[in-house]
Amino acid sequence: MNDDWTPPIPAGYNDANRAFIQALMARGTLTFREGQKVLAAIKSAVEGGGGDDVAPESITMAEFENFVRTAREAVEPLDYDIRNMRDQVRGGERVWAFVNAHSDPATQLGTARSPEEVAYIKRLLDAMFDHHNTPRLEVMAVDEGQALRVSRPARGPAARDSNVNTNTNGGMGGGEEDDDDDDNDGGTGDGSTTAAAAAASRGLKHSEVLSLLSSLVAEGWLDKSRDGFYSLTPRALMELWSWLVATYNDPDAESEWQRIKFCEACKEIVTYGQRCNEPDCTIRLHDICEDAFWRTRAGDRKCPKCGTPWEGNHFVGERAVTSRSGFQRGRGRRRRQTEAAEVAHDNGGVEEEGGE
């Protein structure tokens, strides 16, 4: 333990604090274990002088949190923040991220990207949080085929999305049909006057989409699952949290079904977890939260809102698709299954979810 270290006030903020912020900015995220290594290296360098290195295990959570607190105070005036959330998919490890407090896809995921790529990222988010996120099928993830399907903006019929596209240049029509192949010669545009609108209508080639997706995975914005689904990482969720709520939720419909949902236990966003068996109930739980949640309820595994027994076999996230028996019969038939799910969506979600 190294309890004689005291947190500096931001005014007297020192080289160790500066190095910590730089490390966090360079990586984008840190888990506590990664933070221990970073701080041990920093302290060895700052306090060292050829002597003993500081062991990562000697960095306590309290010390790490002190560094985070000081860093937050230092970056807040610049509209940055350091937020944390648990990783919903990988065992719930907490992740700290350096975020732009007023982020939208263009300012953050879109940094150093072309207007065409920024417009594509917005369509990809619409695919995840609108098209593939309905009351009956809350996938909030897309497979590669679905990601390619929005390589170019949809024509007129996609107007059903326009009510959630307040920030996403919803009227960016004028592109070509989006299911044909890799021969994009640029959209014709429809008299759009701004470069952004023209770029939005042009779309990306399939090969460009695939390389953008892999760079978003490499940069830690997208996860790609074993079953081939792309979803937002904790870093992207922390970065886009307010934007997602403002873009996809209806503030006047608080008790109704909303596209962006929160865990009943921890109140963090749920894109991978469980849902109440009652299709119209809005209660959602992370897998990583359920044990502790049920422990506090004396073994009574009933939905806290509607009282329906909680069976834990109705899912939010890609398992809403992959838990279907049809999906499990063979990966070769995967594409057909997701298309079946889409047909169900297009038909108003009449298909029973969660198996047959």
Number of residues counted as binding Zn ion (CB under 5 A): 13
Find the binder of Zn ion among 276, 316, 321, 341 (CB under 5 A): 276
Between 43 and 286, whose beta carbon lies closer to Zn ion? 286
Is 265 a binding residue for Zn ion by CB under 5 A? The answer is yes
How many whole angstroms separate alpha carbon 191 and alpha carbon 99? 37
**Phi, psi dihedrals of residue 179, rounded to the nearest 5°:** -105, 0
Cβ distance 189 to 198 under 8 Å? yes
Closest distance to Zn ion from the beta carbon of 88 (Å): 8
Burial class of residue 272 (count of CB atoms within 10 Å of its CB; 0-12, 13-18, 19+) = buried
DSSP class of residue 305 equals: T
Q: Which amino acid is at 290?
A: E
Among positions 304-323, residues that touch Zn ion (CB under 5 A) are: 305-306, 308
Q: Which is nearer to Zn ion, 256 or 339 (CB)?
A: 256
Query: Does residue 281 touch Zn ion according to CB under 5 A?
Result: yes
Q: What's the min distance (Å) between Cβ of 226 and Zn ion?
A: 22
237 binds Zn ion, rule: CB under 5 A: no
Based on C-alpha coordinates, what's the Rg of the chain?
23
Select the residue interacting with Zn ion from 68, 124, 240, 303 (CB under 5 A): 303
Give the one residue of 83, 132, 286, 334 binding Zn ion; rule: CB under 5 A. Answer: 286
User: Please, what sign has the CA dihedral across residues 135, 140, 142, 146?
Assistant: positive
Phi, psi dihedrals of residue 10, rounded to the nearest 5°:
-55, -35
Report the SS3 class of residue 91: coil
User: What is the smallest separation between the CB atom of 225 and Zn ion, expressed in angstroms?
Assistant: 19
Residue 244 or 289: the one with the smaller Cβ distance to Zn ion is 289
Task: Tell whether residue 278 is a contact of Zn ion (CB under 5 A).
Answer: yes
* Minimum CB–partner distance for residue 278 and Zn ion (Å): 5
39 belongs to the binding site for Zn ion (CB under 5 A) = no
User: Reduced to 3 states, what is the DSSP secondary structure of residue 120?
Assistant: helix
Q: Give CA–CA dist 247/168, Å, rounded.
A: 9
189 versus 279: smaller Cβ distance to Zn ion: 279
- The least CB distance from residue 261 to Zn ion, in Å, is 11
Half-sphere exposure of 142 (CA within 13 A, CB side): 22
283 scored as a contact of Zn ion (CB under 5 A) = yes
- Does 232 interact with Zn ion (rule: CB under 5 A)? no
